[in-house]
Chains A and B, each alone.
Chain A
Amino acid sequence: MLVLLFILFGGLAIGCALAVVAQRNPLYSAISLVGVFISLACLYVMLAAPFIAAVQVIVYAGAIMVLVVFVIMLLNVEEEERGRRRLKFLVPMAVAMAAILIAEVAFILVTVQEFRVNPPAGVGLTHSIGTSLFTRYLLPFEITSILLLMAIVGAMTLARRGGLLSTSARVIPGVTTLPRSLVDPRATPDDLRPVEADSTDEAARLLGVTGLRDHSDRDE
């Protein structure tokens, strides 16, 4: 019974993983990857790790992949074209290595002896994970929280447009000269050839920070 479940979920995982690699449309790859994550979550349940299975669904399938699908939809990513044929001699080598991998897996499946301990008594339950996490493995836990803080700060810094132009910057109406390096990312910092802008909106557009002025303070 468990063997059937393992074959089912394992096959599903491998099938979806092959779909991730083989699909050319990145959205289909993302959906197949969600399939991989969910079948891995089912495998974790079979391995008596229900908490990790739930966390896998919540974090990986429910948050990370949502983010990836968001990015794919926002950037409107197209399909990959059929790649340029490069290094043709690698294809038979890849086939040979795949054959070696399959042979190794078959060898393991056939010849490794049976190894089974008693059914786990509460190892994967929330209680035991929580206890270990907050007593013996507290240092990795705290370091991980700081890592998440670093990620949040990093993501927010990357998402800011227009470099260091603050949200309350206003350009006085009339021709304003700005150093070229603010506008053109390829210019060197001491390139002082001016760029002219007539209003905050035009300067914002030139600087690529058009989203900064929110229109909620204007009566429409």
Chain B
Amino acid sequence: MDTAIDIVLKFVAITVVFVVVLLVVAYTVLAERRVLGFIQGRLGPNRVGYGGILQPFADLLKFILKEDIVPDKSTRFIYFLAPVIATMAALMTMIVYPFGPDTRIPFTSITIPLVVARLDIGLLYVLGITSIGVYGIMLAGWSSNNKYSLMGGLRSSAQMISYELALGLSLIGAILLAGTLDLFQVVEQQSGWHGLRWLIIFQPLGFIIYMISAIAETNRVPFDLPEAETELVAGFHTEYSAMKFALFFLAEYINMFTVAMLATTLFLGGWNVPFLDSIFARGTFLFGLVSAIGFLVKVVLILFFYIWLRGTLPRFRFDQLMNFGWKILLPLALINIFITATLIFLRVPGFS
């Protein structure tokens, strides 16, 4: 009976997380277009619904009803497989992020942590699934049987695997401080000092390196040469139309959401809202709810920062990009690990 309740709870948790992720991502697309519009001195889409609220549904309808064009000489199996791999890899990372602390569900006496799966190796799981996501892009570029797609796919995947290294190394500093790979415990440890003991105070360099690597990892401006419209036609998704393109689009924004959630979890304190434990008691439903909302607010702030960057910066050239990733970011990440390890070894107060 217990296992049945567990399984039902897991399914409910997965469904809730899935719906939340899709809604946030859909409205991120809308928010990006509006915010970019404001930065560029124009209004974004504001016709559909009040202020453009229903725009994502209009886009979804357009994608479903559009004609699906398949190139004639493409490798059919891989052509269909690539967006599936990209989307699956993007969605699979959602299960390890903690949305809230141990919360009591109202009207019952069950206390569950607000995370779908509490893996002992949570962070390694995220890094592994991110590595699998590279395949979607490479196979998409190859299977389109188009020189521009192939070049875009190869460049994009070269960029992604280069910045994956800096991403992983920048997280090691935070893990050294936290002492565990379990993301739920990392957030629990950041609840000292009335919810203000965030790891960014101890790891500012690590945070900066992580943000830069994350932007490069998700192919966003200023690192979006492989998919910029003025460059290689549209990069690896040139030959994709309608729903398959929607899947790639979705996968990119879900990836953005994922790295923002990872940044929030590891560096910005996760679900810790400062001074919330003086208002509600820990473990109650309201504490959990406000914590989850606080988490989403932090993630939305980071997403706003990404959109802001997109409207502000020009893009890197490809060799500058690779230069930056290998010659500047990687040594900086290694120096960060070295400094953090030294500070922990010398038992500097705060760093233990």
Residues on A lying within 8 angstroms of B by beta carbon are 27, 31, 34, 38, 50-51, 54-55, 57-58, 61-63, 66, 69-70, 73-74, 125-126, 214, 216
Contacts and interface: CB of A to CB of B under 8 A. Distances in A.
Interface string B100-130: 0000000000000000000111001101111
Contacts of A31: 78, 81, 135, 139
Interface in B117-160: 119-121, 124-125, 127-132, 134-135, 138-139, 141-142, 150, 154, 157-158
B128 A50 contact: no
Interface of B: 75, 78, 81, 119-121, 124-125, 127-132, 134-135, 138-139, 141-142, 150, 154, 157-158, 161, 181, 319
A126 B121 contact: yes
A83 to B, nearest CB: 23
A50 B118 CA distance: 13
A31 B141 CA distance: 15
Nearest to B133: A62
Contacts of B130: 62
Given A27-B142, A62-B134, A55 B78 contact: no
Main secondary structure of the interface of B (DSSP, over half): helix
Contact of A70 (B129, B131, B138): B138
B112 to A, nearest CB: 22
Q: Give 10 closest A-B pairs by Cβ, nearest first.
A: A62-B131, A54-B124, A57-B128, A58-B128, A50-B121, A54-B121, A54-B128, A73-B142, A58-B131, A66-B134
Given A27-B78, A27-B142, A57 B132 contact: yes
Contact of B319 (A34, A73, A74, A214): A214
B121 A34 contact: no
Nearest to B317: A216
B121 A70 contact: no
A126 B120 contact: yes
